[in-house]
Amino acid sequence: MAEAQQASSLLSALSSDGAEVELTSPVWQEIYLSGLRSWKRHLWRVWNDFLTGVLPASPLSWLFLFSAIQLAWFLQLDPSLGLTEKIKELLPDWGGQHYQLRGLLAAALFASCLWGALIFTLHVALRLLLSHHGWLLEPHGTMSSPTKTWLALVRIFSGRHPRLFSFQRALPRQPVPTAQESVRKYLESVRPVLGDDAFDRAAALASDFLRLQAPRLQRYLRLKSWCASNYVSDWWEEFVYLRSRGSLLVNSNYYLMDFLYVTPTPLQAARAGNAAHALLLYRHLLNQQEIPPTLLMGMRPLCSAQFERIFNTTRVPGLEKDYLRHVQDSRHVTVLHRGRFFRVRTHFSNDLLSPRALEQQFQQILDDPSPACPLEEHLAALTAAPRSMWAQARELVKTHAATALEAVEGAAFFVSLDSEPAGLTREDPAASLDAYAHALLAGRGDDRWFDKSFTLIVFSNGKLGLSVEHSWADCPISGHMWEFTLATDCFQLGYAADGHCKGQPDPTLPQPQRLQWDLPEQTHAQLYLCPEGNASHFSYLLLWQLQPSISLALRGAKILSGNIDCHVFPFPHFGKNFIKSCHVSSDSFIQLVLQLAYFRDRGQFCLTYESAMTRLFLEGRTETVRCCTREACHFVRAMEDKEKTDQQRLALFRVAVDKHRALLKAAMSGQGTDRHLFALYIMSRFLHMPSPFLTQVQSQQWPLSTSQIPVQQAHMFDVHNYPDYVSSGGGFGPASDHGYGIAYIFTGENMITFHISSKKSSTETDSQRLGQHIEDALLDVATLFQAGQHLKSRFMALGGNSGYRHGFLSSKPVDPKVPTTSTNF
C-alpha cells in the first residue's frame, strides 16, 4: 500500500535541510524503552484477559475446578496429595469456629495455583504450536498428515470460542534473520535490474558490511528482539510513518471504494446514517471482543493488535515526529460539509442512536444554510500540509479554538458530506470511475481531515468511500471493518421504500452542534512557504497572519491532488475460479502479469514492491516481497520472444510462480529481507556506525508498488443472488515520481478489479496505458492454459480494451434495488 512510498522516503525523514538528523538516544535506552512499551501493552492485555476470559480457559473454568476439588473432598479423596493440608497449616488460626472457612480458603488457593499452572501449560503449548510454520512450505492446494495433526492440536488448544484478542499472548515473536541470508536475498533481488558494474559495486559494499558492521548490529538487534514484542514494528511505525515530514495526502493515505455498480439509496443523509451506524456497531463488537479472530487459511490465528486503534484515533503533528493519540471512548463524530464543522452525537441516554436518528442529524447539516467562517472554510487543508508546518499552525489553532480542535481529534471518526456526486455513470463509465477514485484518494485538498484514522466520505448521490491514514494499521484491518460496514448497510439494516433509513425521526433529538473556530487573522507564527511549482519542499518564512498559511497549505494540497492520475477498471473475463482451475496461486498469477505489463509499458524491468503481512507474529505488520526475480524476467522475455512456444512459456511461468510463492512464504514466516535490513539501518544510526551498504538499500526507489486487497468476510455477502453487492477494493498513490501504484482485488469468483495510480508530471507513466497493458497481459497469460485459449479471441471480437470495457460498464445497473432478503450475521 502507501507504505512503499513512505519507506522510500526514509532517508529524507532522517535528514534536515540536507544534513542527517542524529539519533541522540543511547542504544541501550532505546532498547529499554521498546521493552517498556511492550510490557505496558502486555500488562494491559493481561488485565483485559481477566475481564473477557483467559485463553484457553475462562473464569468459569476456575469455578468448575474448585467445585471438582470440593466434590473430591466430599468423597474423601485428596486430589492435592496433601498440599491442601499444608496450605491450611500456613494460614492464620482464627479459632475453631473458622476451621471450615480455612479449609475452603486452602482449597481455593490450591485450585487457583492448579488453574494457573494449567493455563500456563496450555499457553506455552499453544505458543509452541503457533511457532510452527512448516505448513507454509506445503505444495499449493495440498495438506499433509503432520499438518492436519498440527491443525487439530491448534484447534484443541485454542478453545471453543476464542475472542478477538484471545491469541495475543500466545503468538510467537518475529524472528531475526541472519545478516548473511538477508544480504544474499537482497543481492539476488537486485540482480535483474542492475548492470554488471552496478551489481559488482553493490556486492562489494555488501561484503564490507558483513565483515565490518553486521556482527555488532546483529547482536544489538537480537537483544532488542528479546526485550520488545516485535523487533521492527515500533521502529517501522516511528521512522517510516511518524517521522516522515511530507504531506499525508497521497503519500500516507489510501482509499476503499463502495459497491462498484450499485448504490442502495440516492439519499446522502440516509446512506450516511446507515454507514455511520454500521461503523459504530463494529466498534461495539470490537470493544466487546465479539469479532472472531482472523484465521489465515481458516486455521492459523493472526495478530489482532492493530484493531485496537481503528476508532477514536488521530495522528497529531509534531515538529520532528508525529504521535498517535487514542482515546478510550468517544460518543460523537465530526462532520465536514461545505467548509463547516459539526459535532454529531452518536449516543443518547447511553444508547447508540438508530440509523434514522443519525440520518436526521445529517440531513439537518445538509439543510443548514449558514456559510463557513473565513478561516474555517479551508482549515482542513492544513492537515494536508507538511507535518512540521501543520504542527506549528496547530499550536495556534489549539490556543484559540481548543474546544473545536478537541471535538475533531477526539471524535470516533470523521465524516465528509461532499456536495458533488461520484461513482459509475453510463455516459462515461471509465472516466467516472477514475474521478471517483481520485475523489476518494485526494479530494479537493481541504475536504478531509487527513489526521484522523479514517474519514467516511458520503457523496451527494449516496455513494460511499473511505480515506484511511496508514500509520496506525495496514489495509487488511480497515478492509475488514469496511466489509462489515457495506454488508451491514445493505443486508442487515436496509432502507425503506422511499430510500430513507428504516424507523421514524425523533423530534426530541438535539440538533448537531456547529463548531466555532475563533481564530484571529492577525497572529505571530513561524510557518513554511511552498516554493513555486514544488509542493514537497518547503522553506521557512515568518508570517503574521493565519490566513496565508491556510492558503499556502491549500495551494500545496491542490498541487498534490492535481498531479495524481487514477485509473480503475474491472476485468470481467475471468477471476479466481479460472486461476484455481489452472492450479496456480492467484496472487502469483497477477504478480507475473504485472511484470509482463510493466515491461511492455516501459521496456525494462524494475524493483517491484508487494506488501505481505507478518501478522503470524505478535505485533507484526508487513514485509516486502521483491517480485521482480530472475525467473519472472525469463518468463517475460519468453512471452515477448516469438520463437518460444506456449509450452516453453508455460514451463517458465510455473518456475516463476514457484519462486514468487517461495518469497511470499519466506516473508510471511519472518524470513524476508527488507524489514531486517531496515532495522539494521536504524540500529546503525543509533550506534553512529555509518554503513554505505545499508544507506544504499534504504535509498532505493520502487517504480512498481503493488498490493492485493484481501476479501476476508465473503460469507457476509450473497454473491450468487446479488453478485454486484461485493466490495470493489481500493487504491493508493505511487511510491516514486516515475512509478505506479497498483492495487487489485478478486471481486467475487469471476472478476478482478484493478486500481492504478501514477503522477501526471511524469512523462514516463500513464495509468490508462498501463491498464490496457494489464488487460492484454492477463489474456496472453491465460491463453497459455488450455482452459483459457478462447478468452482472447472473444475479447477482441467484442472490441478490445476500450470497446469491451465501455460496453460492459455501460450495461451494468447504476442504481438497482437493495436486496430484499436479510442475511444473518
Enumerate the active-site residues.
470
Q: Within the chain, what is the greatest distance between any pair of CA atoms?
A: 100
Asked if residue 34 lies in contact with residue 234, where contact means CB atoms within 8 angstroms, the answer is: yes
Q: Which residues contact 718 (CB under 8 A, 6 or more apart)?
A: 491, 725, 819, 821, 823
Question: Please, how many CA atoms are within 13 Å of residue 614, restricted to the half-sphere of its CB?
Answer: 31
Asked if residue 232 lies in contact with residue 679, where contact means CB atoms within 8 angstroms, the answer is: yes
Q: Which residues contact 102 (CB under 8 A, 6 or more apart)?
A: 88, 91, 94
CA–CA distance, 762 with 347 (Å, rounded to integer):
49
CA–CA distance, 791 with 803 (Å, rounded to integer):
15
Query: What's the grid cell of residue 500?
Result: 430513507
- Tell me if residue 26 falls in helix, strand or coil: coil
Would you give the DSSP letter of residue 751? -
List Cα–Cα distances, 318 to 252, 268, 324, in angstroms: 16, 36, 11
Query: At 203, phi and psi to the nearest 5?
Result: -65, -35
Q: Which residues pair with 744 in a beta bridge?
A: 708, 754
Integer-rounded Cα Rg, in Å, for the chain is 28
Placement of cell 484522523 in the chain: 452
CA–CA distance, 642 with 655 (Å, rounded to integer):
20
Closest of 579, 598, 493, 509 to residue 265, by C-alpha: 493
Asked if residue 353 lies in contact with residue 345, where contact means CB atoms within 8 angstroms, the answer is: yes
Closest of 477, 574, 490 to residue 785, by C-alpha: 574
CA–CA distance, 725 with 358 (Å, rounded to integer):
24
CA–CA distance, 266 with 255 (Å, rounded to integer):
21
SS3 letters for 522-567?
Answer: EEEEEEEECCCCCCCCCEEEEEEEHHHHHHHHHHHHHHHHHCEEEE
